[in-house]
Structure 1
């Protein structure tokens, strides 16, 4: 048994390293709520991955027959890439050659719009999640300070895996949950790139079925 300040014990229990990492998480000062090492690119440019006909005139792709259902299938990460490319092959084969390039351009226009929307939603979700984590970190730190001020110094068993008092335990487990949530952020940060890779692969396959 040793004597420590309650504040130090609670900060240890809540995961001081995890709390500090939130405050330092923003990589880009221009985007303080963006915690990812990947650069924030909210909107993709079609010309970066598409060298086919312009898609501006195909904004009504969703009204074309068969294309909305195909786009939904292609954009779904639950559909393996092999099945997605097979669906493109099947669609291309069903369209008369004279109209194939136009219809496949519509498919790309729909796929690009859909994936771009998905990415924006994910990016917005990551930033919302990060704001929540920042707020929660401040709450946990303040709870530790308040409890320390209320109770002063106590005897702490430094061999205990979990603080023994009810107040300490609550803060300890809140800190553990916080750190587990924080560990999910790098995983979420990979999702925009995953969507981009799938979009690029499918775009290349669509182009391979076009004559020009």
Structure 2
């Protein structure tokens, strides 16, 4: 028994000793940064095969429901409308392609959102540095210095801008999550329309 436990500890040690990836300094969100959504995370069937762009009806469906501005219910109705006239072989071929198209578009949207969040974080970091610099300048100035009121105003303006932007972080961080959740809803609807053998 002791030998078995020792072997387990020996095998587990290298895995535990592996350094964790350093967190991305430009990622302010509590949600773990996942750069790409994989098909296997949302599609229980085999990986879609083929080019969804080559199927005009699929490309039209993806173009119709992929934009973030399209309400979820409208997307679900469009999927039902798309699938209804298809016979089982066509469903087996086209519905996975529709998922592939929606996945590609969701990843493209998330890429854009993630880059916007990173830029936001870099701007906030720069603004925080500016606020600290202005604070240091204010502390260094005598109370009766004629430049103090203007510097205090610049500091207050920069600090207010930083604080107001920080209030939006939670909302900003939800955007990629919402894209993934929406894709999940569409994926489940497509999968539900697949023929059962």
User: Using CA pairs below 8 Å that are at least 6 residues apart, which structure has the higher relative contact order?
Assistant: 1
Does the CA contact (< 8 Å) of 2:52 and 2:58 recur in 1?
yes
Q: CA deviation at 1:66?
A: 2.1
1:102-154 deviations in Å (ceiling 9; x for gaps): 011110000011101111221121111101110111112112212432x3234
In 1, the alpha carbon distance for the partners of 2:88 and 2:40 equals: 25
1:180 matched to which residue of 2? 164
Computed over aligned residues only, the root mean square deviation of the Cα atoms, in angstroms, reads 2.0
Provide the TM-score with structure 1 as the length reference: 0.75
Instruction: Give the SS at the match of 1:196.
Output: helix
2:27 matches 1:37: no
In 2, the alpha carbon distance for the partners of 1:33 and 1:126 equals: 8
Structure 1 stretch displaced more, 75-84 or 130-139: 75-84
Instruction: Give the SS at the match of 2:68.
Output: coil
In 2, the alpha carbon distance for the partners of 1:152 and 1:94 equals: 79
In 2, the alpha carbon distance for the partners of 1:125 and 1:143 equals: 27
2:60 matches 1:76: no
Runs of 4+ displaced beyond 4 Å: none
Instruction: List gaps (5 residues or longer) in structure 2.
Output: 1-20
1:118 matched to which residue of 2? 109
Provide the TM-score with structure 2 as the length reference: 0.81
In 2, the alpha carbon distance for the partners of 1:201 and 1:52 equals: 16
Matches within 5 A, 1:148-163: 148-149=139-140, 151-154=141-144
Matches within 5 A, 1:5-84: 29-55=22-48, 57-58=49-50, 60-84=51-75
Q: CA deviation at 1:32?
A: 1.4
2:184 aligns with one of 186, 189, 200? 200
In 1, the alpha carbon distance for the partners of 2:28 and 2:195 equals: 43
Instruction: List gaps (5 residues or longer) in structure 1.
Output: 1-27, 156-163
Q: CA deviation at 1:71?
A: 0.9
